[in-house]
Structure 1
Amino acid sequence: MGRNLARKLIESHLVHGEMTPGAPIEIRVDQTLTQDATGTLVMQELEALGLDRARTEVSVQYVDHNLLQADEKNAEDHLFLQSACRRFGLWFSKAGNGVSHPTHMQRFGIPGKTMAGSDSHTCAAGALGMLAIGVGGLEVALAIAGRPLGLRMPEVWGIELTGRLPAWSSAKDVILEVLRRHGVRGGVNRIIEYHGPGVATLSAMDRHVIANMGAELGATSTVFPADAAVRDFLRGEGRQRDFAVLSPDPDADYDLIDHIDLSTVEPLVAKPSSPGNVVPVRDVAGTPVSQVVIGSSANPGLRDYAVAAAVLKGRQADHSVSVDINPSSRQIFADLTKMGATFDLIASGARIHQAGCMGCIGMGQAPAVGHNSLRTFPRNFPGRSGTAEDSVWLCSPETAAASALTGVITDPRDLGIEYPCLELPEQATVNTEMLVAPLPTDQAAREKLVRGPNISALPDFPALPSKIEVPVLLKLGDDVSTDEISPAGARALPFRSNVPKLADFTFGQVDDSYASRARETGAHIVVAGQNYGQGSSREHAAITPRYLGLHAVIAKSFARIHWQNLANFGVLALEFTELADYDRISPGDVLTLDDLPNALRSGPELRIRNITKNEHYRLRHRLSPSQIDAVLAGGQIPRLAQNRPDT
């Protein structure tokens, strides 16, 4: 059998390991992506690692998440990030230039390259035939420093696409169909590779929509071939020289297979509060809506805004609905305006916001309690919108625009109007003035980091003790997201560079007493269900609980990125061997692990004793020898410091 594209990309970048699913491998990283909600920690980690200059082909720092400047905190962090880019040799994308993923695709994405990004939606770059993987910030810092990226070799899940999308269905409905079939855990430890004749009917930005939300399936990455659609996209961006044809072999083999006939895809919507809670729009038609938001990295293309503008053109949004438009990049906003579509949106009653993530990360546009918000976003985890008791639905731009007109969730096929025929420009309005290039090496070496008072030092975590005897401070259910561990939103995110202050928000979405109880208790354990830590890659969800005394998390299973982040910052991630043991543990139980170094190094299984109930449970870990050393040392940074020749 022939090779699939994902295996070709891995093989061409393989540094260590065997390409057997589940086996540890290391791959060379060509590019990195960081954004401002995670980048400040990455820059502090580069400083802690003693980096002189970035050793990747391209590394770019974007300012796209924390754009609201209600006080000085976000502005000071932007200055810090720009100074760090000058010091370490990274590109800097200024505030308002655009959301990292579509902007990177427009300006830096190259077929066949690998990329590590400190954002879980980094996988969107797979639309261009890249192998792009979302990871924690420390992995990105190490990649910038020239180290390979370590991961478990994923299975490759081939999804064959045939047919063509019908009117009123679009790429968002395709990925919602995959989520409807397989849920938020369906892609765990897998790369999703789309292939088949239906791929050719999707533009590069359509593919971005699908690849972006592979993260919601828990997938390691998503890959599309680089074909005529990718060539046309790069030509339109003035970068045709970067194009290369990439495809799977005609007889490519896949570890798992699925098939979607695009002609059968109907308008879909994800109900609150999970991207996997997907139903046909007609099943929930008539549900009142008070807010419609169009934008985000999940629907970032010019087409996505233009089709909504065409639906709204000459019509007025329902008086009960607030329509908000978040342009995904300044370039796309310029092209939308040249088309006249921006004026159609304004005339319909829509509010136009700056180019950035905005409401997707809860940075503004928070909905009212008890009212439905319909969004073209990738996530609707509880509280992510900035409203603790939110009701957020996910949909396509077509469904969003139709619902804005009627004031209720509406299948766009039922509007009774003709599907818009769009004429999009072949050449984009390319403007690189808001991208600041790296300084020459000699000049960069003289740069100093600009630190505002809200930027704390990285916490200095001590080594784990050889014996852990601590209480269970919190017990959680399945699919707890990093938004619920360390929240997004305008209240918390301005403190992302101030770990002591950010720690006050830890687990606030699920238990607002956790932070104060953790400060009183000190060392403790958290118990959780399946897929613990799904969603955002933010390291803060590992760092702030660790700062508050978290020694271990015992879960039925972990999301990939968060599991890695826990290991990086000295938190022991353990899984139940017998899932029923989860039910035997209660909050307040005191658990003990004796001779921890020997227990971890003697094999993947160990036993923990519940002193309170006089019971033992069998657990397992998936840590490599170097990760065991890191956890015991208090994290990867102290482990690396121990091994430096000059220490």
Structure 2
Amino acid sequence: MVKLYDKGVYLLNGTEIAEDVAEVKAKTGTEVSQQEAAKATMAYHILADHNTSGNMERLQIKFDKLTSHDITFVGIIQTARASGLEKFPIPYVLTNCHNSLCAVGGTINEDDHMFGLTCAKKYGGVYVPPHQAVIHQYAREMLAGGGKMILGSDSHTRYGALGTMAMGEGGPELVKQLLNKTYDIKMPEVVGIYLDGEPMKGVGPQDVALAIIGAVFGNGYVNNKVMEFVGPGIDKLSADFRIGIDVMTTETTCLSSIWKTDEKIREFYEIHGREGDYKELNPGAVAYYDGMVYVNLSEIKPMIAMPFHPSNVYTIDEVNANLKDILHDVEQKALVSLDGAVDYSLQDKIVDGKLYVEQGIIAGCAGGGFENICAAADIIRGRYIGADEFTFSVYPASTPIYMELVKNGAVADLMQAGTIVKTAFCGPCFGAGDTPANGAFSIRHSTRNFPNREGSKLQSGQIASVALMDARSIAATAANKGFLTPATAMDVEYTGRKYHFDQNIYANRVFDSKGEADPSVEIKFGPNIKDWPSMPALSENLLLKVVSEIHDPVTTTDELIPSGETSSYRSNPLGLAEFALSRKDPAYVGRAKEVQKAEKAIEAGQCPLEVLEELRPVMEVVRKAYPEVGEGNLGIGSTIFAVKPGDGSAREQAASCQKVLGGWANIANEYATKRYRSNLINWGMLPFITEEDHENLSFQNGDYIFVPEIRKAIEEKASVVKAYVVGDELKEIELKLGDMTDAEREIILKGCLINYYRG
């Protein structure tokens, strides 16, 4: 089904894999170096076209377009305004698909929307009103273009199937583009994803995506690399099918994705009235890939990602055949994910030997596509979901899709069966819509199934489970009134309805400045929209208190700052910070604030020992070895330890909330994604790495760590920093900083990106 090559390989004429240069010469009669062949990938050409550094080893990328949604655009624009923004220099689209309900916290969600509309007018952007489209569907329909690059402040910014290399990053990276700066990275490795065969009837894009995620997530095979889709199997897939696979590449922790393009992609652009944006993309005659994932589409069966991660994959047939054993395994893994915060069991889901689920949802950038919903309607037509606990909701990804589903009868088929068809909204994907009952099991064609992303709250004793599935098998389960069923078990004639795009829907509702700024427009600020607090520059020396210690194999951004109803406070840095780690370590905020008292005392010209008594013995030990450390050259703040933090969302708030609470660093064995590490740096936080085994650390929660001459170490581009755990004496440890650009080091020195641009 899925095979990983253990080394780099060559691809000949886009179809044939060769494992070394000797095989290349034997099959082609030509000699080619690995270095030259690496330049023949589609990814290399697109990156070269957008690189401004003149050095393909150290890229400085300028993107063609930007996009954000209403959880992130307020903070981004506020940061850019504080840094000198006068006009959006490139097209910037502000969608409103996350805080769309306007149901939590009074007026604050709609206040954010009005902020966005007035900023689009003032700075020359595009504003997509609530319920018109989820961010990524609008980008596919209206922004993508062959050979282009798009940067979005959402982790699922993936338009590779349309020939666009897109990346999801934290807000500060978009701020840099708004200020005419660059996205700076080392040239990423490129891994080929070779698709062969053809999916069987009833298998959908989510099934293919989950099979790939299951094969590459745990071993980090594509971590921070570009996934380049090639092979003859692509020709057998529709544009919608490719898009459905592509959007899920984020869950592999790759950097970006790109696909070869053909007449089916040209047709996609024609349908949307943008044929001129199509560009044929293919790898060169001999292209070198740093790895290769071979996928036989013909062998893929309907898949399910069990709680609580998209990589926890099985075939649905496996689950049904081994229910008790697999559910027990899920429960054991949940002991780690949930920290024993709630009693968790799935055994009550076994009813008459079958798995019963209480909810099915098809939604968002992954599930809400036209073909997915048409297939679901074909499956459920003439059947009924029943009058028991099971519910079924469908969210088309855009109003144009919704309109076409109304016209072709799919909505009628769904609603007659008992389905609720809703507007374009990302809520079910991050815990702000269709929250199940406590203890319920939900199956979803969405992007993630981390704990709490369905809306439950561990601190209140609430937990529900989410499994990821394809729309087809969700509809098959709905047709079976909630009993888990693969779509391949259904005898269905798929109608294959053709899509017609009505461009007037957007033309009549979306505000498009056409790039013209109007400085006379006054920005509307709701009472919840607050400026970023001032942040100090990095001191000569640093004293850090460990205020949280997380030993999960991976820590998601949802655990660092919860999604769901907290998203309404994303425009209020201090208000949102109150929720930091609230579902993972509820005592974190209080501990961080206690340490922050010392830093605030320093800023006010007071003695920190007067406000934080526990510092006295700590400073006595530090001064025995470093008597000069003290007033004027010491910063005091907090840090957290996590084994592998940052999987999941691009949200910058996972870092900024720590920063506004006085955080100065993270310590980790590794960082799950580049974007989380970048968020730390952009908020002036040191991304320390320790090579100590996480179960035998030389420090623990509550300990102080003294880092002498940290400012000098950053200035001198040190990659390893000497630090000390403060006990009865100083115990030396080693912390690594990893690779940093000169600009990133300067941001750390200044204290954050805002300070860096203020000068």
Letter in structure 2 aligned against 1:498: N
Does residue 428 in structure 1 map to residue 501 in structure 2?
yes
Which residue does the alignment assign to 2:44? 7
**Alpha carbons 1:38, 1:137 under 8 Å: kept:** yes
Which residue does the alignment assign to 2:485? 410
**Alpha carbons 1:119, 1:135 under 8 Å: kept:** yes
Which residue does the alignment assign to 1:619? 735
Matches for 1:58-73 after TM superposition, within 5 Å: 58-70=91-103, 71-73=106-108
Of 431, 435, 450, 1:362 maps to 431
Cα distance, 1:211 vs structure 2: 1.6
**Alpha carbons 2:217, 2:253 under 8 Å: kept:** no
Cα distance, 1:617 vs structure 2: 2.1
Cα distance, 1:580 vs structure 2: 5.6
**Alpha carbons 1:316, 1:348 under 8 Å: kept:** yes
Distance 1:525 1:312, change over 3 A: same
Q: What whole-Å deviation, never above 9, does each CA across 1:457-504 have from its counterpart, x for those lacking one? A: 1222111222222221101122111111111102x1111101111111
Q: Distance in 1 between matches of 2:515 and 2:61?
A: 28
Letter in structure 2 aligned against 1:434: R
Does residue 562 in structure 1 map to residue 676 in structure 2?
yes
Letter in structure 2 aligned against 1:344: D
Which residue does the alignment assign to 1:536? 649
Q: What whole-Å deviation, never above 9, does each CA across 1:116-169 have from its counterpart, x for those lacking one? A: 1111111x2111111111111111122133222212321000011111101111
Bigger Cα displacement from structure 2, 480-489 vs 144-153: 144-153
Cα distance, 1:520 vs structure 2: 1.9
Does residue 526 in structure 1 map to residue 526 in structure 2?
no
Cα distance, 1:187 vs structure 2: 2.3
Q: What whole-Å deviation, never above 9, does each CA across 1:368-424 have from its counterpart, x for those lacking one? A: 22111100011111112211223110010011111223312222223xx32332232
**Alpha carbons 2:395, 2:425 under 8 Å: kept:** yes
Of 513, 516, 524, 1:438 maps to 513
**Alpha carbons 1:556, 1:582 under 8 Å: kept:** no
**Alpha carbons 1:157, 1:255 under 8 Å: kept:** yes
**Matched residue of 2:160: which SS?**
helix
Which residue does the alignment assign to 1:291? 359
Distance 1:549 1:363, change over 3 A: same
Cα distance, 1:519 vs structure 2: 1.4
Q: TM-score, normalised by structure 2?
A: 0.81
Unaligned runs of 5+ in 1: 643-647
Q: TM-score, normalised by structure 1?
A: 0.95
Q: Distance in 2 between matches of 1:207 and 1:423?
A: 16
Does residue 249 in structure 1 map to residue 249 in structure 2?
no
**Alpha carbons 1:54, 1:146 under 8 Å: kept:** no
Bigger-Rg structure (1/2): 2
Letter in structure 1 aligned against 2:414: L
**Alpha carbons 1:326, 1:358 under 8 Å: kept:** no
Distance 1:428 1:178, change over 3 A: same
Of 698, 701, 725, 1:587 maps to 701
**Matched residue of 2:173: which SS?**
helix
Q: Distance in 1 between matches of 2:402 and 2:478?
A: 21
Q: Distance in 1 between matches of 2:308 and 2:197?
A: 31
Which residue does the alignment assign to 1:27? 61
**Alpha carbons 2:704, 2:726 under 8 Å: kept:** yes
**Alpha carbons 1:576, 1:582 under 8 Å: kept:** no
Of 370, 383, 394, 2:468 maps to 394
Which residue does the alignment assign to 2:238? 203
**Alpha carbons 2:109, 2:568 under 8 Å: kept:** yes
Distance 1:77 1:582, change over 3 A: farther
Q: Distance in 1 between matches of 2:318 and 2:515?
A: 58
Q: Distance in 2 between matches of 1:572 and 1:617?
A: 16
**Matched residue of 2:478: which SS?**
helix
Q: Distance in 1 between matches of 2:693 and 2:150?
A: 36
Does residue 480 in structure 1 map to residue 555 in structure 2?
yes
Distance 1:440 1:524, change over 3 A: closer
Q: Distance in 2 between matches of 1:387 and 1:152?
A: 39
Letter in structure 2 aligned against 1:342: V
| Superposition CA RMSD, Å | 1.6
Q: Distance in 2 between matches of 1:547 and 1:290?
A: 40
Matches for 1:618-637 after TM superposition, within 5 Å: 618-622=734-738, 623-637=740-754
Cα distance, 1:180 vs structure 2: 1.1
Which residue does the alignment assign to 1:608? 723
Letter in structure 2 aligned against 1:633: K
Q: Distance in 2 between matches of 1:281 and 1:26?
A: 44
Distance 1:409 1:616, change over 3 A: farther
Letter in structure 1 aligned against 2:466: V
Which residue does the alignment assign to 2:626? none
Cα distance, 1:563 vs structure 2: 0.5
Letter in structure 2 aligned against 1:324: S
Q: Distance in 2 between matches of 1:386 and 1:403?
A: 22
Cα distance, 1:440 vs structure 2: 6.8
Distance 1:551 1:471, change over 3 A: same
Q: Distance in 2 between matches of 1:131 and 1:599?
A: 36
Which residue does the alignment assign to 1:497? 571
Bigger Cα displacement from structure 2, 604-613 vs 157-166: 604-613
Which residue does the alignment assign to 2:380? 312
Letter in structure 2 aligned against 1:610: V
Letter in structure 2 aligned against 1:615: K
Matches for 1:128-207 after TM superposition, within 5 Å: 128-183=162-217, 185-207=220-242
Letter in structure 2 aligned against 1:552: A
Which residue does the alignment assign to 2:341? none
**Alpha carbons 1:329, 1:355 under 8 Å: kept:** yes
Q: Distance in 1 between matches of 2:666 and 2:476?
A: 44
Which residue does the alignment assign to 1:272? 307
Q: Distance in 2 between matches of 1:241 and 1:626?
A: 37
Q: Distance in 2 between matches of 1:405 and 1:446?
A: 56
Cα distance, 1:287 vs structure 2: 2.1
Cα distance, 1:308 vs structure 2: 0.8
Which residue does the alignment assign to 2:660? 547
Q: Distance in 1 between matches of 2:364 and 2:715?
A: 44
**Matched residue of 1:473: which SS?**
strand
**Matched residue of 1:193: which SS?**
strand
Letter in structure 2 aligned against 1:395: M
Cα distance, 1:624 vs structure 2: 2.1
Q: Distance in 2 between matches of 1:580 and 1:533?
A: 17
Q: Distance in 1 between matches of 2:292 and 2:267?
A: 29
Q: What whole-Å deviation, never above 9, does each CA across 1:52-98 have from its counterpart, x for those lacking one? A: 21112x22111111111122110111000111111111111111111
Does residue 212 in structure 1 map to residue 280 in structure 2?
no
Which residue does the alignment assign to 2:88? 54
Bigger Cα displacement from structure 2, 243-252 vs 573-582: 573-582
- Count matched residues: 632
Letter in structure 1 aligned against 2:722: R
Bigger Cα displacement from structure 2, 10-19 vs 368-377: 10-19
Which residue does the alignment assign to 2:600? none
**Matched residue of 2:287: which SS?**
coil
Cα distance, 1:49 vs structure 2: 2.3
Which residue does the alignment assign to 1:645? none
Q: Distance in 2 between matches of 1:263 and 1:630?
A: 50
Cα distance, 1:253 vs structure 2: 1.3
**Matched residue of 1:158: which SS?**
strand
**Alpha carbons 2:643, 2:694 under 8 Å: kept:** no
Cα distance, 1:206 vs structure 2: 1.6
Cα distance, 1:581 vs structure 2: 7.8
Q: Distance in 2 between matches of 1:590 and 1:440?
A: 51
